[in-house]
């Protein structure tokens, strides 16, 4: 059995096509490219990035959540090109309850090829086996078709809908809550 994850060294994970790793300063251009696309941020609580400064701020958040041991955000690096094509990670760690929330995003050019299924499977494995989580939660806007399909493919259970739970970009949005328990993970 692995010993419990201590948030000292940032873990590097491998999937069939990608390397999942810590963000480095050079990634700011890829992060900017990712979050400057309306299609990517459509169901997120912010508008498209307009400068690399926005990406630098986002990356400061990656550092912060790791340092305060509340989450980890992996860069999804395409092993063939070494370009960062998306991100995936945990946030809102509830240590006493062995629970974390998962989040993910990918550049549109790579959608529909099963990449996030591959990535989330690996990140879930790390969550259950290394961080020893009991529950992984995800919150998805009910109109986010691709994310709903992904949840379904990965065998997440839909717990319900938080109605008009957040005020984003001038409107109230519902959030569907999905989860996967360790006992459901094979």
Ligand X SMILES: CC(C)(COP(=O)(O)OP(=O)(O)OC[C@H]1O[C@@H](n2cnc3c(N)ncnc32)[C@H](O)[C@@H]1OP(=O)(O)O)[C@@H](O)C(=O)NCCC(=O)NCCS
* Number of other residues whose CB lies within 10 A of the CB of residue 61: 12
**Pairwise CA distance, residues 89 & 72, whole Å:** 5
User: Measured from the CB of residue 33, what is the shortest distance to ligand X in angstroms?
Assistant: 13
Contacts to ligand X by CB under 6 A: 40, 43, 104-106, 111-117, 140, 144-147, 149-150, 153
Q: Name residue 21's beta-bridge partners.
A: 75
Q: Which is nearer to ligand X, 40 or 75 (CB)?
A: 40
Q: Which is nearer to ligand X, 132 or 173 (CB)?
A: 173
User: Measured from the CB of residue 3, what is the shortest distance to ligand X in angstroms?
Assistant: 31
Q: Which is nearer to ligand X, 45 or 51 (CB)?
A: 45
**Pairwise CA distance, residues 181 & 19, whole Å:** 25
User: Measured from the CB of residue 1, what is the shortest distance to ligand X in angstroms?
Assistant: 30
User: Measured from the CB of residue 86, what is the shortest distance to ligand X in angstroms?
Assistant: 6
Q: Is residue 19 exposed (0-12), middle (13-18) or buried (19+ Cβ within 10 Å)? A: middle
**Pairwise CA distance, residues 132 & 93, whole Å:** 12
């Amino acid at each position: 059995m692995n010993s419990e994850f201590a948030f000292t060294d940032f873990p590097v994970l491998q999937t069939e096509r990608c390397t999942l790793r810590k963000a480095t300063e050079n990634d700011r251009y890829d992060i900017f490219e990712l979050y400057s696309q309306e299609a990517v941020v459509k169901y997120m609580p912010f508008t498209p990035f307009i400068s690399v400064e926005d990406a630098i701020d986002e990356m400061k958040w990656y550092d912060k959540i790791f340092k305060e041991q509340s989450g980890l955000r992996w860069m999804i690096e395409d092993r063939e090109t070494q370009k960062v094509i998306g991100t995936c990670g945990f946030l809102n760690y509830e240590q006493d309850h062995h629970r974390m929330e998962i989040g993910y995003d990918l550049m549109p050019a790579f959608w529909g090829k099963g990449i996030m299924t591959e990535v989330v499977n690996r990140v879930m494995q790390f969550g259950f086996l290394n961080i020893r989580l009991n529950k992984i939660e995800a919150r998805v806007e009910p109109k986010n078709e691709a994310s709903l399909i992904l949840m379904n493919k990965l065998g997440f259970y839909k717990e319900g809908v938080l109605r008009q739970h957040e005020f984003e970009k001038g409107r109230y949005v519902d959030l569907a809550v999905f989860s996967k328990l360790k006992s459901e993970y094979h």
